[in-house]
Chains A and B, each alone.
Chain A
């Protein structure tokens, strides 16, 4: 629903700009750029640093580390006020979650007992973005040049890899093995964002972009649930529970990870 509303709004903006002047920068409208960015890992770990989260070993506690993103963006100035861009970025971050699986040893006639898994995931994200840029010509910004504000719709296809799985066995001392959590670590995360940035142009061809972006998840209901989560009850299906919990944790992690980003890009004005 949210996605549809946002798309409708963006289409309205797009069509409303069609009657505007469209000078581009000296007649050039199309920018292709590569960019790198970072999101501070204040609320979570990075693949190489678990951040402020302590587990087993306090020496693993990190401070402020950064998640990097690299990607490319292609933009077209539709008018002196508006530029549409599509972007692709890839990044790697990490997530810590707890999951449960039925213990290998069960006592007949008793409810199923569960081993607890401390999971450290590496999340590999592929972000696909659509930006609708708004330039204010009255303040000297003429698309694609100058300061702008972008509305962003982002889809991040996430592929998780377990980097560490530490098990707390229900039966202490029974370390013969454990059953799989059966989590499918793939998820598509949607967000809407607001980017403020500036495009500068050199030698009438090269572009430099500096931007800061704030994103909010479009999975608000599930994000709320993620904060209310409790461990499964003995009679609950732990597989469904784990999968559900993985998604909630991913949403929570991505909401934090994606909250604020800084990026810089260099590009070329093609035509």
Chain B
């Protein structure tokens, strides 16, 4: 028995990735292992260290200043990226990227030590390196690649950018050009264009260098060169989904419910791709033709003998690519791109037709479309005419379907999936809300027949010679179906189901209540009441909350670099401390989840923060819509369970310093009219203008119910007293019964 366990353990250890994903019930990628140090050291500390090094450099004062500015901006920007949760670490994808990097730098362990590779949760097709030695490869890029050699080539290109400190070079060049043109730009706009052109030229030089030297590095390995040329195709067609298969509408249809031709395109738009020989004057990269040519020249004398497309493992590559592809539809949902989500889920269903995960992605995307279309004044964000390739069908359908049809489609699809997966915890919430949206168009179910109007062989019936002319027409129409009323067939197999009827009745009642409430709050009486209500404050009677990533941002709009990086970080820390300090005083149990305050062994919390922030971002995007569950609601419910509360608070401050010449003139004029106010006018004219936004939004994360406690613009300089007053008030509103 022990030996079996031992073998199983060996297998699990040897092929962890193979055992870690069931694509049928796909689990989103999460970071694993220990949190890397660079996530946990404050940006200010990193910056201080770099400043010290710059200080000892023997360079001109101006260059030192520019380098310091670069260190400031790049450190803070990158830390924001790392802490955002968009960057994964120690997950299957990043681990694999690291292994490819090991192959590339097998001969240079010193450089390998300095470099980290991370997977970036983005649908964009991109990879980039920073001066700190971090290389980021987007999941969108990984989803499009064809083999490991292509990945290695991209990594080697980025490695050169890091090793040659290209980002710093580009920053310094930009500064230099800006300085030399700053005076003239006021007089001659052409100079600005020249500067931009010069900067892009310099950028292209750096890109060409990265291509060349990256290839040298690549050629030191045994990776095959045969597919490298296709990397440029990946770049050229990167705006398209990761595959191009005709969209099959039947995934949304039933025996009776058919998407009409009016919602289908006869022919989709041809794929043009990015122009190979495009004018690259305004681009930071050389055009594709030039890059292809340079690559071909460099490879002319390279023999393909002994070279392989996969050095680690083809299975690993395919698994990683599949994982990346499975992440894509969810990322599209996060970005409110339902048509892209539906199409990418459709592509993945080709290999995994019974995937619960993919079915739910489609249900969620249709639900989002229905919600948006039901929202007054909504305009669908994508333009299907601009979409190329087969995905245009999905875009066309979801763009042209009207609100009523969208509700029917989404309800039908969600109901079917709920019947198919009765134990799924997310679908009932979506279904319940879908019934409410549906009730916006239907006050009863009478338009929906419970059996087909005519048997499938009815076409034959129309040929009955004894039937009257009108009977024939009626039968013909019924058999063909009216394209404007195709939706009536949606619930033939559902409408008699008692749960369907209960769901409809409940939705109708809820819709009525919601409409009355909406109407009331739109009336002047309601608006007055709301204002009064905001002034009075809430009494929620909640005793335990989780505070997620208390946010602080300091801006100075008078400066070129608006964000005040160091004050922002100091403020962030102070804000967090204040929250800790005030919680016991307000009688509220507050757990703080903040990336900056984690220990390296708290990766689970890091993942929780990421999930919660994704969820919050969705909720904020959908703030105008009625309550909606999150796209990863199941995980959110688990997080609520873990922390022992359903209430999560997002609060933050954006403090701004800004010029206000009009205000100064106004106060001086006032003092001329009322001389006694002169001292105030002088004070007012001399003082700095400050304002801040303080927000605090409390969510019941299980239901999506939100209590906007505060969203106030305050014309005041941010101070400890002000923050304490606001935070304490927020907590008190939550805790008071």
Is A79 an interface position by the 8 A CB rule? yes
In whole Å, how far is B228's beta carbon from the nearest beta carbon of chain A?
59
Counting CB contacts under 8 A, is A32 at the interface? no
Per a CB cutoff under 8 Å, which of B534, B585, B733 touches A138?
A: B534
A89 sits at the interface (CB 8 A): no
Set of chain B residues within 8 Å of A25, measured between Cβ atoms = 721, 724-725, 728
Interface presence of B676 (CB below 8 A): yes
B355 CB within 8 Å of chain A: no
**Nearest CB on B from A81, distance (A):** 5
A201 at interface by CB-CB < 8 Å:
yes
B721→A200 contact, CB < 8 A: yes
A/B interface sample: 30 pairs, CB < 8 A:
A20-B535, A20-B537, A21-B536, A21-B538, A23-B586, A23-B728, A23-B733, A25-B721, A26-B582, A26-B585, A27-B585, A80-B535, A80-B536, A80-B537, A80-B729, A81-B535, A81-B536, A138-B534, A139-B712, A139-B713, A139-B714, A140-B694, A140-B722, A140-B725, A140-B726, A142-B726, A142-B729, A145-B721, A145-B722, A145-B725
Q: Is A146 in contact with chain B by the CB < 8 A criterion?
A: yes
CA A40 to CA B585, docked complex, whole Å: 44
Q: Which of B661-682 contact A (CB under 8 A)?
A: 676
Query: Which among A23, A139, A200, A201 is the interface contact of B729 at CB below 8 angstroms?
Result: A23
Within 8 A of B (CB), among A16-65: 19-21, 23, 25-27, 40
Ranked nearest first, the 7 interchain pairs of A and B with the lowest CB-CB distance are A140-B714, A21-B537, A23-B732, A20-B536, A23-B729, A201-B721, A145-B725
| A184 at the B interface (CB under 8 A) | no
B10 to A: closest C-beta gap in Å: 60
Contacts of A40 in B (CB 8 A): 676
Please give the distance in Å from A80's CB to the nearest CB on chain B.
Answer: 5
Which residues of B from 688 to 717 have beta carbons under 8 Å from A?
692, 694, 712-716
Query: Which chain A residue shows the least CB distance to B730?
Result: A23
B736: Cβ under 8 A from any A Cβ: yes
Contact A140 B536 (CB under 8 A): no
Asked if A260 is at the interface (CB within 8 A of a chain B CB), the reply is: yes
B539 within 8 A of A: yes
Q: Is A227 an interface residue (CB 8 A)?
A: no
Q: Which residue of B lies closest to A81 (CB)?
A: B535
A21 to B537, CA, bound (A): 6
A20-B535, A27-B728, A142-B729 are known contacts; what are 8 more A-B pairs with Cβ within 8 Å? Answer: A21-B536, A21-B733, A23-B728, A23-B729, A80-B535, A81-B536, A139-B714, A201-B725
Contact (A138, B535) CB under 8 Å given A21-B729, A21-B736, A23-B732? yes
User: In the complex, which residue of chain A has the Cβ closest to the Cβ of B729?
Assistant: A23
Q: Which of A21, A201, A202, A260 has the most CB of B within 10 A?
A: A21
> How many angstroms from the CA of A200 to the CA of B725 in the assembled complex?
11
Interface of chain B, helix or strand or loop or mixed? helix
- Interchain CA distance A80-B535 in the complex, whole Å: 8
CB distance from B421 to the nearest CB of A (A): 44
Asked whether any CB of chain B lies closer than 8 Å to the CB of A137, the reply is yes
A204/B725 in contact, CB under 8 A: no
Which residue of A has the minimal Cβ distance to B733? Answer: A21
* CB proximity to A under 8 Å, residues B183-198: none
Is A142 touching B725 in the complex (CB atoms < 8 A)?
yes
What's the Cα separation between A21 and B536 when bound, in Å? Answer: 6
Report A-chain residues with C-beta under 8 Å of the C-beta of B692. Answer: 140
In the bound complex, residues from chain B placing their C-beta under 8 Å from that of A80 are: 535-537, 729
A residues within 8 A CB of B712? 137-140
Q: How far is the CB of A16 from chain B (nearest CB, A)?
A: 9
For the complex formed, measure the closest distance between the CB of A158 and the CB atoms of chain B, giving whole angstroms.
25
A260-B680 Cα distance, complex, nearest whole Å: 14
A112 an interface residue at 8 Å Cβ cutoff?
no
Cβ of A136 within 8 Å of any chain B Cβ, yes or no, is: yes
Please give, as numbers and ranges, the residues of chain A lying within 8 Å of B713 by CB-CB distance. 139
Number of interface residues of A (CB under 8 A): 24
A142 to B723, CA, bound (A): 11
A201 to B725, CA, bound (A): 10
A21–B728 CA distance with the chains assembled, in angstroms = 12
Return the contact of B716 from the options A19, A20, A140, A202 (Cβ within 8 A): A140
- B732 lies within 8 A of A21 (CB): yes
Query: In the complex, are the beta carbons of A202 and B535 less than 8 A apart?
Result: no
Q: Which residues of A contact B715 (CB under 8 A)?
A: 139-140
B732 nearest CB neighbor, chain A only: A23
Q: Which of A168-193 contact B (CB under 8 A)?
A: none
- Chain B nearest CB, measured from A78 CB (Å): 12
CB-defined interface of A130-157 with B at 8 Å, one 1/0 digit per residue? 0000001111101001100000000000
CB proximity of B83 to chain A, nearest CB, Å: 28
- Is there contact, CB below 8 Å, between B534 and A26? no
- Type the 1/0 row for B521-538, where 1 means its CB is closer than 8 Å to any CB of A: 000000000010011111
> How far is B733's CA from A188's CA once the two chains are assembled, in angstroms?
44
| Nearest A-chain residue to B536, judged by Cβ | A20
Among candidates B539, B582, B724, residue contacting A21 with C-beta atoms closer than 8 Å: B539
Provide the bound-state CA to CA distance between A21 and B714, in Å. Answer: 20
Q: For B721, what are the chain A residues with a Cβ–Cβ distance below 8 Å?
A: 25, 145, 200-202, 204
Chain B residues within an 8 Å CB radius of A146: 716, 725
Q: How far is the CB of A211 from chain B (nearest CB, A)?
A: 12
Q: How far is the CA of A110 from the CA of B722 in the complex (A)?
A: 77
A146 to chain B: closest residue by CB:
B725
With both chains docked as a complex, state the minimum distance between the C-beta of B237 and any C-beta of chain A, in angstroms.
51
Task: For A25, give the chain B residue with the smallest CB separation.
Answer: B725
Contacts of B728 in A (CB 8 A): 23, 25-27
List residues of chain B with CB within 8 A of the CB of A142: 725-726, 729
Q: How close is A142's CB to chain B, nearest CB, in angstroms?
A: 5
Q: Which residue of the partner chain A has the closest CB to B679?
A: A262
CA distance A145 to B721 in the complex (A): 9
Closest chain A residue to B538, Cβ basis: A21
A204, B536: Cβ atoms under 8 Å? no
A200–B717 alpha-carbon span in the complex (Å)? 12
Of all chain B residues, which has the CB nearest A201? Answer: B721
Those of B575-609 within 8 Å (CB) of chain A = 582, 585-586
CB proximity of B268 to chain A, nearest CB, Å: 51
Contacts of B582 in A (CB 8 A): 26
Chain A window 195-231, contacts with chain B (Cβ cutoff 8 Å), 1 for yes, 0 for no: 0000011101000000000000000000000000000
Distance between Cα atoms of A59 and B322 in the complex (Å): 99
CB distance from B212 to the nearest CB of A (A): 58
| Cα separation A145 to B727 with both chains bound (whole Å) | 13
How many angstroms from the CA of A194 to the CA of B714 in the assembled complex?
Answer: 23
Query: In whole angstroms, how far apart are the Cα atoms of A118 and B700 in the complex?
Result: 77
Residues of chain B within 8 A of A81, CB atoms compared: 535-536
Minimum CB–CB distance for B539 against chain A, Å: 6
Chain A residue, CB-CB nearest to B716: A140
Question: In angstroms, how far is the closest chain B Cβ from the Cβ of A27?
Answer: 6
Provide the bound-state CA to CA distance between A79 and B538, in Å: 12
In B473-505, which residues have CB < 8 Å from any A CB?
none
CB proximity of A213 to chain B, nearest CB, Å: 13
Instruction: Report the bound CA distance from A147 to B514 in whole Å.
Output: 37
Q: Which residues of B from 75 to 109 have beta carbons under 8 Å from A?
A: none
Contacts of A20 in B (CB 8 A): 535-537
In the bound complex, residues from chain B placing their C-beta under 8 Å from that of A137 are 534-535, 537, 712, 729
CA distance A79 to B532 in the complex (A): 13
* Least Cβ–Cβ distance between A192 and chain B, in angstroms: 21
State the Cβ distance, B664 to closest chain A Cβ, in Å: 20
Minimal Cβ-Cβ distance residue in B for A139: B714
Q: What's the Cα separation between A23 and B588 when bound, in Å?
A: 13
* Residues B536 and A26 in contact, CB atoms below 8 Å apart: no
Q: Which residues of A contact B725 (CB under 8 A)?
A: 25-26, 140, 142, 145-146, 201
Q: How far is the CA of A23 from the CA of B539 in the complex (A)?
A: 11
In the assembly, what is the distance between CA of A23 and CA of B725, in Å?
Answer: 9
Instruction: Please give, as numbers and ranges, the residues of chain A lying within 8 Å of B676 by CB-CB distance.
Output: 40, 260
Q: How far is the CA of A200 from the CA of B719 in the complex (A)?
A: 11
Q: Report the minimum CB–CB distance from A46 to chain B (whole Å).
A: 17
> CA separation between A200 and B721, bound complex, in Å?
8
Contacts of A200 on B, CB cut-off 8 Å?
721
Question: A252 to B175, alpha carbons, bound, how many Å?
Answer: 69
Residue of chain B at shortest CB distance from A21:
B537
